[in-house]
Amino acid sequence: MTAATAEASHACASSANAFLHEVIAKTPGGETLTKCIQCATCGGSCPSGPDMQHTPRQIFALIRAGERETVLRSNTPWYCVSCYYCTVRCPQEIHVTDIMYTLKRMAVQAKLYDDSTAPDFSKTFIMWVEDFGRAFELGLMGVHMLKHNPFGVFKLGDMAAGMVSKGRMAFAPSRIKGLDGLKRILAKAKELEVSA
Ligand code: SF4
Ligand code: SF4
């Protein structure tokens, strides 16, 4: 290997490690990521696997290879429904679900998500939680559809009316007790995220 090739290879490895270290630093228990043995148990357990561009196993291999843009553009974290199957089944006790949350945040911060309204869906979800302390499904779906698929609201209307009439969905949002305490917790979480 020539000196120039060795230098390029070293730079590449450093940048790969930089991405890996960033993901680890931003995830509670993230250091477990380095123990991945690529066994694929996570992908095999994942209910969203068929819709994901990359399985969690592939995402972890890409992270270790420093493929920052491919990872942050992948739809994988956005299809994660936080069921924690992967996390409880991983033989290496890797915090798979928490890493998915980290990748979502990083993709939003870097504006590196392709053709997905999922980040905006998350923001609308948080808006309801901040205002009322809990999700409000009808408002969440209504606001999201009006922003991204206004004609879909009519289809949604029939389904929503059925669910509201059967008591499966609330017609109006209601505030939780202790909302001020929750707001303080959320404000602190945001502060920690900014400083991370
Ligand atoms: S189950 Fe755990 S060890 Fe296996 S590929 Fe997934 S993250 Fe890696
Ligand atoms: S937590 Fe996410 S990545 Fe893990 S199995 Fe569930 S949907 Fe798949």
Residue 12, pLDDT > 50, answer no
pLDDT at 43: 92
Nearest protein CA to atom 3 of ligand 1, as residue: 36
Residue 9, pLDDT > 50, answer no
pLDDT at 11: 45
Ligand nearest to the CA of 95: 1
CA 102/CA 174 separation, integer angstroms: 30
Atom of ligand 1 nearest to the CA of 45: 1
CB 42 within 8 A of CB 56: yes
Q: Cα 73 to chain center, whole Å?
A: 12
Residue 6, pLDDT > 60, answer no
**Stretch(es) of the chain classified as CATH 1.10.1060.10:** 3-109
Atom of ligand 1 nearest to the CA of 37: 3
pLDDT at 5: 45
pLDDT digits (tens, 9 = 90+) for 131-186: 999 888 888 888 888 888 887 777 777 788 888 888 888 888 989 999 999 999 98
CB 30 within 8 A of CB 96: no
Taking the centre of ligand 1 as the mean of its atom positions, its distance from the CA of residue 46, in whole angstroms, is: 12
* Cβ neighbour number for residue 58 with a 10 Å cutoff: 19
Torsion angle of C-alpha atoms 122, 125, 131, 137, degrees rounded to 10: 170
Question: Would the pTM count as exceeding 0.75?
Answer: no
Angle, nearest 10°, between helix axes 118-132 and 96-109? Answer: 100
User: Was domain 3-109 assigned CATH 1.10.1060.10?
Assistant: yes
Torsion angle of C-alpha atoms 16, 192, 185, 84, degrees rounded to 10: 10
pLDDT at 4: 46
pLDDT at 118: 77
Q: 3-state DSSP call for residue 24?
A: helix
Residue 115, pLDDT > 80, answer no
pLDDT digits (tens, 9 = 90+) for 33-83: 999 999 999 999 999 998 899 999 999 999 999 999 999 999 999 889 899
CB 134 within 8 A of CB 94: no
DSSP for 45-78, written as a single string: H-TTGGG-SS-HHHHHHHHHTT-HHHHHH-SHHH
Residue 120: pLDDT band (50, 70, 90) is confident
